[in-house]
Copies of this chain bind each other. A is one copy, B any other.
Amino acid sequence: MKNYLSFLFVAMLFAHTITAQDTDRKIQFPDIDGYLSLKADLHIHTVFSDGSVWPNIRVEEALWDGLDAIAITEHLEYQNHKDDLPNPDRNRAYYIARDNAKAHDLIVIPGAEITRSLPTGPGHCNALFIEDANKLLVEESIDVFEEAKRQGAFVMWNHPDWVAHRPDGVARMNDFNKDLISKGLIHGIEVVNDITYSEETIDIAKEYGLTQIGASDVHGLVDYQFRIASGNHRPITLIFAKEKTAESMKEALFAGRTVAWFNNNLIGEEEWLKAICNASLSFEYDDYIGPTTILQVKVTNISDVDFILNNTSKYSFQRNARIIEIPAHSEKTLLVRTLESLSTVDLQFEILNAVTGKDEYLTLDVPVAKKK
């Protein structure tokens, strides 16, 4: 059977060569000042709990999406294919994905989804960077979290707004949740899960100092669930890490250096939103048009975000109303009516798809100065 397999391998490799034509879908964000901007999907299922694909497919999808990392997070307490897949090792899906990723520059994070009920229990939580998922199989909810802590896990609260737990789709804390957080057993929260988003989770994150996470929670295929062929993207978390390593990502997650990327929105804390927006958008002083006091400012967007700006400067623009769209990976020239000829112009924008809270958006101060 050796020949069979080696030929199979050649054929598969060949078939899966990813061509230039296919790279458009790769998610692209620039690094920020001082950190790499790592693209991670921290919530993923396979056939080993209630997903529908073998773990290697999760690696392939991640490569097509240009991700830096994925976490395999099977339900600890729920495997609906158990009759067919009786293997009791809760690390099995991780091992397969990790082995498949070896040939690629993709980090696979070992994880597990603690699957408890709300509103009485703690709900669902992902323990990431764990040593052994099997040891998390304990009766009492609190004990699972204690064990996760023993393993040094970063623990995030999943979809607190899930309609199966909260029929109004609104996230709320219960005593169990508060207790876990107060004990340092939960460190992050999904402000975005799958195709849903709930603005009150941002408030919870801010009030309780939790790291904001966006994740796919994919069970079927990424391409179908998130309509990739129509130009959409899966939700991910941008993790601002010093290096491209699991260790460095873990450090960044505990330090809260993240932004969620969902449905053309960046969601997160002001500091990190500002960092990624500043890295994505640049504004360049060009020239005044002839003898006028109208300044050309060239805007360049090197990210995947179709930015929606609200011009809150004291200056208006000759060709645009106050709301201006700067599509992903594009350039645009703004014609700023500065009223007199200036060598420095202070522009200001509210970025309407950089969300810091309910009805709250990032304000970006943009000084534009003449080159010397």
Contact = CB atoms under 8 A, between A and B. Distances in A.
Interface string A201-231: 0000000000000000001110111011110
Contacts of A339: 168, 170
A54 B64 contact: no
A141 interface: no
Contact of A85 (B15, B85, B325): B85
Interface in A30-56: 47, 50-54, 56
Given A169-B337, A196-B318, A294-B168, A223 B223 contact: yes
A260 B56 CA distance: 30
B194 A15 contact: yes
Given A10-B289, A85-B84, A54 B56 contact: no
Interface in A67-82: 78, 81
Contact of A220 (B16, B86, B168): B16
Interface stretch (A101-109, A239-247, A351-359): A351-359
B229 A263 contact: no
Contact of A224 (B60, B316, B323): B60
A11 B163 contact: yes
A21 interface: yes
A3 interface: yes
A265 B321 contact: yes
A81 B52 contact: no
Give the contact-size bracket for chain A. Answer: 35 or more
Identical chains in the assembly? 4
Q: Most B CB atoms within 10 A — which of A50, A57, A194?
A: A57
Contact of A290 (B4, B10, B83, B170): B10
A53 B115 CA distance: 24
A86 B82 CA distance: 11
A292 interface: yes
Interface in A321-368: 321-323, 325, 331, 335, 337-340, 352-353, 355, 358-359
Contacts of A297: none
Interface string A9-36: 0111011100111100100000000000
15 contacts: A7-B164, A10-B290, A11-B163, A19-B227, A47-B47, A52-B56, A60-B220, A83-B87, A84-B85, A169-B294, A196-B319, A223-B229, A308-B323, A310-B352, A321-B355
Given A8-B164, A57-B221, A263-B319, 13 more contacts: A12-B220, A16-B224, A16-B225, A84-B85, A168-B292, A168-B338, A168-B340, A169-B294, A196-B319, A197-B319, A223-B229, A310-B352, A322-B359
Closest 9 CB pairs of A and B: A7-B164, A52-B54, A229-B229, A10-B290, A168-B293, A163-B292, A323-B352, A167-B292, A265-B321
